[in-house]
């Protein structure tokens, strides 16, 4: 399939893990792809990893999405090089790991997570719509990455869960207001994805997690990229404001199999 021939795509947080698979999927389907990590070093590492996958012509520039000036500079670079942007994938996330339980979380640390995941995703979207989509007759499409933890919380990740719930509401709100302007906004909400973090799990814990997934296996980045590409393509042309869960069936169970006795 070459659904994205002639399209330009920006994947935020394209420097590692799922972001690399998102960049790869759009590039393999014919798009000119841009990506950013939060720093020069991580963005350079991401660019190297993409080149090692045999992907040529990927645009990259560091951009902390919580900083409006850096967002503007990234869009300047895309405009100068490509002159258009058709698809925005808001994948970058602060995981907010290690903040402790809700009785300990420092509100300043929570704000950092919200500033990246909610405000950051919003300000990139706003800037892209004003700068590119509204001046292009074909407009454009936005896909956010949320999480199944927006609906079913995980322990001691208060800031992250709150931010992903915020993204789900943001997606519906943006879809409502931008739909009449010809801009679609949808969301993919993954469960477990196999990333570098998954590789650090003890084998028995990984096996237990898999046992508790109805499909018996966590998603790969490529699984997520396939759904994101669908949401970004004309194949989903009549969808907006949707949150598509990709979690091996975890959200449809009342109790994991470990407890079902
Ligand atoms: N992994 C999972 O099991 C899982 C489950 C559900 C949902 N998700 C969601 O799926 C998406 C991808 O997950 P992942 O595990 O692949 O993510 P990840 O490994 O934590 O990578 C996060 C990416 O976001 C970038 N980033 C973080 N803060 C940023 C900022 N302020 N500005 C710009 N970029 C920033 C990172 O850049 P640097 O390299 O510079 O740090 C990195 O490229 C995320 O939205 C995540 O919340 C993941």
pLDDT digits (tens, 9 = 90+) for 89-123: 999 999 999 999 999 999 999 999 999 999 999 99
* 160 part of the active site: yes
By percentage, how much of the chain surpasses pLDDT 90?
A: 97
Closest CA to 144 of 18, 17, 4: 18
Catalytic member of 34, 122, 144, 160: 160
CA 92 to ligand 1 centroid distance, Å: 5
Mean pLDDT value of segment 24-38? 98
pLDDT digits (tens, 9 = 90+) for 43-92: 999 999 999 999 999 999 999 999 999 999 999 999 999 999 999 999 99
List phi, psi (to 5°) of 92.
-55, 140
Mean pLDDT value of segment 228-245? 98
Residue range 8-193+220-246 forms a domain whose CATH class is: alpha beta
* Mean of per-residue pLDDT scores for the chain: 97
Could you state, in order of their start, the residue ranges of all structural domains in the chain? 8-193+220-246
pLDDT digits (tens, 9 = 90+) for 171-230: 999 999 999 999 999 999 999 999 999 999 999 999 999 999 999 999 999 999 999 999
User: Using CA atoms, how far apart are residues 142 and 62, in angstroms rounded to an integer?
Assistant: 20
Tell me if 240 sits within 8 A of 184, measured CB to CB: yes
> What is the model's pLDDT at position 260?
75
User: Using CA atoms, how far apart are residues 47 and 49, in angstroms rounded to an integer?
Assistant: 5
Name all residues whose Cβ lies below 6 A of ligand 1: 12-13, 15-19, 36-39, 42, 63-66, 91-95, 116, 120, 145, 147, 190, 192-193, 195
> What is the model's pLDDT at position 261?
65
């Amino acid at each position: 399939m070459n659904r994205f021939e002639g399209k330009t795509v920006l994947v935020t947080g394209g420097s590692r893990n799922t972001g690399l698979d998102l960049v790869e999927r759009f590039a393999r389907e014919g798009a000119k792809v841009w990506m950013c990590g939060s720093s020069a070093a991580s963005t350079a590492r991401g660019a190297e990893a993409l080149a090692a996958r045999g992907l040529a012509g990927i645009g990259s520039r560091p951009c902390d999405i919580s900083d409006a000036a850096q967002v503007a500079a990234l869009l300047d670079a895309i405009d100068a090089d490509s002159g258009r942007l058709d698809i925005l994938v808001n994948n970058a996330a602060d995981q907010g790991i290690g903040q402790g339980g809700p009785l300990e979380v420092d509100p300043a640390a929570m704000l950092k997570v919200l500033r990246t995941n909610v405000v950051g995703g919003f300000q990139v979207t706003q800037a892209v719509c004003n700068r590119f989509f509204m001046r292009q007759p074909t407009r454009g499409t936005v896909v956010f990455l949320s999480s199944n933890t927006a609906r079913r919380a995980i322990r001691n990740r208060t800031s992250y869960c709150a931010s992903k719930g915020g993204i789900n509401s943001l997606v519906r709100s943006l879809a409502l207001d931008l739909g009449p302007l010809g801009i679609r906004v949808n969301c993919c909400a993954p469960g477990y994805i196999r990333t570098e973090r998954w590789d650090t799990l003890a084998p028995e814990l990984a096996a237990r997690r898999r046992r508790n997934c109805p499909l018996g296996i966590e998603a790969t980045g490529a699984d997520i990229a396939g759904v994101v590409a669908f949401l970004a393509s004309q194949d989903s042309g009549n969808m907006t404001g949707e949150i598509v869960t990709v979690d091996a069936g975890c959200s449809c169970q009342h109790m994991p199999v470990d407890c079902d006795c």
